[in-house]
Amino acid sequence: MKIGVPKEIKVHEYRVGLTPSSVREVVAHGHAVVVQSGAGTGIGVSDADYRAVGATVVDTAAEIFASADMIVKVKEPQAAERAMLRDGQILFTYLHLAPDPAQCADLVASGAVCIAYETVTQPGGGLPLLAPMSEVAGRMAVQAGAHCLEKEQGGLGILLGGVAGVEPARIVILGAGVVGSNAAQIAVGTGAQVVVIDRKLDALRRLDAQLGARVMTVFSNRDNIERHVLGADLVIGGILIPGAAAPKLVTAAMVKAMKPGAVIVDVAIDQGGCCETARPTTHAEPTYLVGHVLHYCVANMPGAVPRTSTHALNNATLPFVLQLANKGWKEALAANPHLANGLNVAFGKVTCKEVAETLGYEHHDPATLLE
């Protein structure tokens, strides 16, 4: 199989779909890899590094999309990239379709086989291809929030950990999953007061056992969310329902009643955000004000630390890339039901139930396309 790795074109996105070490593994399995010139610049990798492990380097994305059997990316294809997809071509990347009807419509029209990292599952539950970036985003959320809380950035002008004789900031984390638990680990290290809210008691028990008295765990209901959000200096949203739009746990009314200068970091923005006032931003313009509350809603947070993020992502994606390349998409998905859960769109049909329900498409069972 010929695998194509285009350069990412989303604003301030520096990650790359395959590292040279991943390319070396793919080539060792007998496949060809074509990489766009400059694709690895953001992580300090040159075209020569890719050539050294057997990749072919070309100048344009158009050449890659025209020749590759499978496209391996990081972020969802932008409009110009979607226009180059063709019938039956495999696209393996993050998609986050539920809050993006335009992208979904283009992928349906393309006829491509679109497999989303974020809905691939694993035995015993969990999302193995989303987890590495959720780890990064959860840890980054605290440092982004700390920066936004500086007066110069529009925040309260408060240090997360305070100092002797001055109380620390209060951080409220919505969700005790991968994002929330990683955010909590970093947050307690700053010396801040940390509250984690979730409706899954097992997740709260895990955090309680891990972090002890350094974090307060709270069961999620409307009253608890409102009470703690209104008292927060920093709110971090880390809610995820796989494939579906994130629930709006923080209402516009709550935001209006929050402290002037408080900060919201909505990590769930890839799935539409868990705050009613959230809208996607970029690393170029990461924040905006709603009333007197500063919002940070960058949709590709891990892109700011591309070296760490790319290697972490490749560690997780490479086995699935090899399955798809070695067996072809039909056989690979038939053999691995967890990979099959990643199929979102194929041959003009929406195969992810949550995406179909959210965007009003007829849902097609992936199994019918594998027969």
263-294 in b/e burial notation, b at 16+ Cβ within 10 A?
bbbbbbbbbbbbbebbeebebeebbeebeebb
For residue 338, indicate whether it is catalytic.
no
The runs of H, that is alpha helices, within 191-285 are 201-211, 222-230, 252-257
Cβ atoms of 214 and 201 closer than 8 Å = no
Q: Which strand (E) or helix (H) includes residue 103? A: helix 101-110
Please give the Cα distance from 228 to 124 (Å, whole number). 32
Q: Which of 106, 198, 266, 270 is catalytic?
A: 270
Sign, CA dihedral 200-201-205-208, equals positive
- Backbone φ and ψ for 296, nearest 5 degrees, come out as -115, 110
For residue 270, indicate whether it is catalytic.
yes
Q: Which of 96, 228, 295, 364 is catalytic?
A: 96
94-119 in b/e burial notation, b at 16+ Cβ within 10 A?
bbbbbbbeebbebbbebbbbbbbbbb
Strands 343-346 and 349-350: antiparallel
Widest pairwise Cα distance in the chain: 68
Cβ atoms of 118 and 126 closer than 8 Å = no
Among 305, 301, 274, 271, CA closest to 287: 301
- Backbone φ and ψ for 116, nearest 5 degrees, come out as -95, 130
Which residue type does 365 have?
D
Cα Rg of the chain (Å, integer): 21
Which residue is associated with the tokens 């703690």?
228
Helix, coil or strand: residue 184: helix
Please give the Cα distance from 79 to 342 (Å, whole number). 21
Please give the Cα distance from 217 to 211 (Å, whole number). 10
Residues labelled as active-site residues: 96, 270
